[in-house]
Amino acid sequence: MASLAPFEPTATAPWGLPQARRLLERAGFGGPPEAVAELAALGPAEAVGKLCALRERAPAAPPDWLTVTPPPREELKAAGEAERRRLRKQAQGAERKAVFQLKTWWLQQMVSSTTPFEEKLALFWHGHFAVESQKVKNATTLFHYLELFRSRGSEKFGDLVLAISRDPAMLVYLDNHLNVRSHPNENYARELFELFTLGIGNYSEDDVKNSARAFTGWSLATAGWLKRGGESEFQFRPLQHDAGPKTILGESGNLNGQDVVSIILKQPSCSTFLARKLWRFFVDDAVDEADEAQVAALAQTLVANDFAIGPTLRTLFASSAFFDPKHQAAHIKSPVELVVGTLRQLGITPTDAQAGFLTLALNGLGQELLDPPNVAGWPGGREWVNTATLLNRYNLCGYLVNGGGAAAARRRQRRNNAGAPPLPAFAAGDGESLARAVCARLLVAPLGDEQQAALARYAGDELKSRGAEDAARSVVHLVMSTPNYQLT
């Protein structure tokens, strides 16, 4: 089977700004022309090495502002019924606020990170091993869950699967902390096969039932965890574990959860399932017939690297398949890619208040961090876009460009751009050069000829009537309010 051939630039398929831009937008969140030029100066392998440096770091401890102390038991015991309700409600409110701050904090990390590849990879894993804060309801637990992906996202897939099987957020989210020998709960076992590792059709209903038994007793240290809203950690409860014989995917024995993970990694469908998902996230929304061979090669690369994710992705990003022109404008930006990419592209660092607003606004675009629609994460591709989310995307870009909503735009006009973020300088000159400069910076899918001409005429009129800064701002928002800007 073919493996992924490295990209060797030629006269007809050169290495240059468009290629560096694709690398920066897919492996990271894109950036201004200077960042693209910096990568372009390096050559493909070096650019990948720099952008996707694999560093080892231990998961960080949760920051202080995240930790909500639940009311002490004694205090709850001593209080009357009404007071107890009030204290509980207060603690729940504080927890909700902390979760919101965590979402906002992560968004800000993505905007300002000097290692955007790590954040992009964490975003991939979050969508892959999805949990919803609505059910987990604990900011510290969610922080540890995120840190698993942010600090260890490039490690071996098998280690990640094992780690997520013991992760308190996941244990609560898919009810495995309640999975007991007497009546197994199948929730985790089923999604482990279907969504996390093998894909539908590659396991049987009996495999699900027996794996549920294998994961019995994989629970949490603290009982009543959900009720009190506290933090907890993984604990194996031998009395709740079914140690009897089981047959899973053809292997028999007194199998436990760890055995299930090892058996999964041996299935040929595991590498192809993961390869397809990586390809769709990082390369192209659709996998056509010709791409099937590339996906198979990516699966091969995974196996050859013992499922180590970092080295596999570096091979992918430095491959000729990755730079194939057919993958240009073949990926609909996720809402997070759109927002983070726009901020990075324009060099805007949002204030805490603005970042909080963006966290909320992402919901209207269909991608609220730490709250995917369900355990399947975000399906991506065309499912990002419907008539409502498309208009919301356009309007949010207006917010970013104007430093506020429509009212802010009007205020800005009255007050000579006060309150609006400074925009990068676009080539001065006539309408045509302004329109061309904005499109070159923002679009990989060009406008039609007539559209480009109409934009140039509009830009010319704006330059005359309103001056360079206002004209640039209007043109930027218009170019962002197009189908073309949704693509990378």
Partner 1 sequence: MRDDVWTRREFLGRGVAIAAVAGTVPTFLSRCAFALDDRAGSEAPRDAKDQPILVVVQLAGGNDGLNTVVPYADDAYHRARPTLAVAAKDVLRLDDHLGLHPTMTGLKSLYDEGSLAVVQAVGYPNPNRSHFRSMEIWETASDSDRQEHYGWIGRYFDCQCGGAPSPAPGVVDDTTALMGLGLVRRQTLAFANHSSAGVTLQRPEQYRWMASDPSPAQSALFASLNQPQPGSGKGEIDFLQRTALNANVSSARIAKLAAGHESKAAYPDSRIAGDLRLVSQMIAGGLPTRVYYVSLGGFDTHAQQENEQPKLLGELSAALAAFDGDLKAQGLRERVLTMTFSEFGRRVAENGSKGTDHGTASVMFLTGGPIKGGLLGRTPSLTDLDHGDLKFNVDFRSVYATVLAGWLCCDPVKVLGREHPTLPIIKT
- For 404-424, the DSSP string reads SSHHHHHHHHHTTTTTSPPPP
Q: Which is nearer to partner 1, 312 or 389 (CB)?
A: 389
Q: State residue 115 phi and psi, 5-degree precision.
A: -125, 65
CA 296 to chain centre: 24
Sorted by sequence, the CB contacts under 8 Å of residue 483 that are 6+ apart come out as 390, 445
Q: How many CB atoms lie within 10 A of CB 436?
A: 18
- ∠ at Cα 76 (75, 79), nearest 5°? 85
Q: What minimum distance in Å lies between the beta carbon of 173 and partner 1?
A: 10
Q: 176 near 185, Cβ under 8 Å? A: yes
Backbone CA torsion sign across 193, 195, 196, 200: positive
Q: What minimum distance in Å lies between the beta carbon of 42 and partner 1?
A: 29
The correct pick among 73, 387, 414, 418 for binding partner 1 (CB under 8 A) is: 387
Q: What minimum distance in Å lies between the beta carbon of 404 and partner 1?
A: 10
Question: Which letter does DSSP use for residue 248 in this model?
Answer: E
92 binds partner 1 (CB under 8 A): no
The correct pick among 76, 94, 180, 304 for binding partner 1 (CB under 8 A) is: 180
377 binds partner 1 (CB under 8 A): no
285 binds partner 1 (CB under 8 A): yes
Distance CA(46)–CA(398), nearest Å, equals 36
328 binds partner 1 (CB under 8 A): no
83 binds partner 1 (CB under 8 A): no
Question: Which letter does DSSP use for residue 337 in this model?
Answer: H
Query: Pattern 16-55, binding to partner 1, x per CB under 8 A?
Result: ----------------------------------------
Q: What minimum distance in Å lies between the beta carbon of 38 and partner 1?
A: 29
Q: 285 near 330, Cβ under 8 Å? A: yes
Distance CA(124)–CA(120), nearest Å, equals 6
Question: Which letter does DSSP use for residue 183 in this model?
Answer: S
Judged by CB under 8 A, the chain residues 411 through 450 that form the site for partner 1 are 413, 445, 447-448, 450
Query: Pattern 188-207, binding to partner 1, x per CB under 8 A?
Result: --x---x-----x----x--
Q: Which is nearer to partner 1, 317 or 384 (CB)?
A: 384
Burial (Cβ within 10 Å: 0-12, 13-18, ≥19) of residue 68: buried
Q: Which stretch binds partner 1 (CB under 8 A): 45-53, 79-87, 149-157, 468-476?
A: 468-476
> What does the binding site for partner 1 look like in residue numbers (CB under 8 A)?
174-175, 178-180, 182-187, 190, 194, 200, 205, 208, 285-286, 329-332, 364, 366, 373-376, 379, 382-383, 385-392, 394-395, 398, 401-402, 405-406, 409, 413, 445, 447-448, 450-451, 454-455, 458, 461, 470, 473-474, 477-479, 481-484, 486-487
